[in-house]
Structure 1
Amino acid sequence: MILKTALHLVEEYSAANEFRQGDKQGMGPAKIWKPPDPERYKVNVDGATFESQKKAGIGVVIRDEKGEVVVALSKLVNAPLGAVEIEAKAMEAGVVFARDVGIREAEFEGDSLIVCIALQGGEGAPSSIQNVLEGTMELVSGFRSFAFSHVKRQGNVPAHLLAQYAKETENYVVWLEECPNFLEHTCAHDISVVSHSYP
């Protein structure tokens, strides 16, 4: 528990420093959700820990260039994973899910700075997630094109809500070509913000 808490604090500290440096340079992580390039898909992922249940949740939402939800996943993980570990598993699940629904050109996005930097070729990821990261890179090599990007938490709300929803499931739930009711407002908000920011 002490190790998991320490890793979580290190991630928050790193994220805070990255935000400050980025703000100074005008190059911080995205604050809002942005649609993918035409003919590509944006795969947003998030993980959540349910400490009292000794379980965790994963949320994945895949949207097209118009911001429409193509498919979404809420998955329960029957293991007491820490914050960094479940974020790494969420990114892996996002890659697997995108592959399984037939997507081959995607941008994978999450709000864990440590995971995103590691998948972009950076260093500093804890040893507890190295195998998951390596497996993710092996999986994504089968895509025609892919990228990993970091977004602030407020730009990743639908994936976060799906991760939290996993607490209500026995295993997993998939929404194909429909937006879950509890995501409609946040997805519409994302599209609205983008249209005002990038006319």
Structure 2
Amino acid sequence: MQFVNQWKNSNTINHQQQSSPETTMLTTWSPPSRNQVECNVDAAIFEDVKQFGAGLCLRDEKGNFLKAFTATTTGVPTPREAEAWALHQAINWTHHLGMQNVIFELDCKLVVDNMVNNKKGSTEFHAILHRCRAILSNSPNSRMSFEKRQANLITHNLYIPSCIISLVMNEMI
């Protein structure tokens, strides 16, 4: 139940942030160019159950929903590793879908900056980003973009571990 309460609290906080006047004025969605798609990417870490995952959503230039995908795995990485892993999941997913002109939007500036500036390092974080770059080398028209969390809420709210869904459903019955 503690896990369910944490999830509920985080969604309540996000909803409050989303609806504040300052946030609404500062965060607006900007569409990708014609013939491009936007892949919103977000990661979530659930330390209590030693899991983390990614929520991914594809939208077209009009903001129309195309596809969504979630992935989960076990472990408790650092937040930057989780965000990099989520990006890797997104790049793999869009690559397998045969998409070429993808704008990957993340709410983790550190990941975007490291990808754009091609920063190297010897940590797990840098190893994940290296794998991302290797796959993206086959998709030269794709790029990274940083978006504040409030503009990227669609994916932030996508990832809900199956154990939470079961608990919430049981709580509702």
Q: TM-score, with normalisation over the residues of structure 1?
A: 0.65
Contact 2:57 2:154 in 1 (8 A): yes
Closer/same/farther in 2, CA of residues 32 and 124 from structure 1, 3 Å limit: farther
> Structure 2: which 5+ residue stretches go unaligned?
1-25, 164-173
- Residue 41 of structure 1 pairs with residue 10 of structure 2: no
Alignment partner of 1:168 is 2:162: yes
Give the whole-Å Cα distance in 2 for the aligned partners of 1:87 and 1:125: 16
Q: TM-score, normalised by structure 2?
A: 0.74
| Aligned with 1:130 (options 112, 126, 129) | 126
SS at match of 2:85: helix
- How many residue pairs end up in the alignment? 139
Among 136, 142, 148, the alignment partner of 1:146 is 142
Give the alignment partner of residue 54 of structure 2, picking from 52, 55, 58: 58
> What whole-Å deviation, never above 9, does each CA across 1:52-71 have from its counterpart, x for those lacking one?
00000100101111111111
Q: Which amino acid aligns with 1:48?
A: A
- Residue type of the partner of 1:37? S
User: More displaced, 76-85 or 150-159?
Assistant: 76-85
1:72 aligns with 2:84: no
1:123 Cα shift?
Answer: 4.2
Query: Unpaired runs of 5+ in structure 1?
Result: 1-29, 170-199
Identity of counterpart residues, as a percentage? 26
Distance 1:125 1:73, change over 3 A: farther
Residue 68 (structure 2) pairs with residue 108 (structure 1): no
- What root-mean-square deviation, in Å, do the aligned CA atoms of Structure 1 and Structure 2 show? 2.1
SS in 1 for 2:75: coil
| Structure 1 ranges of 4+ moved more than 2 A | 30-33, 122-128
* Cα deviation, residue 33, structure 1: 2.6
Cα offset, 1:128, TM superposition: 2.9
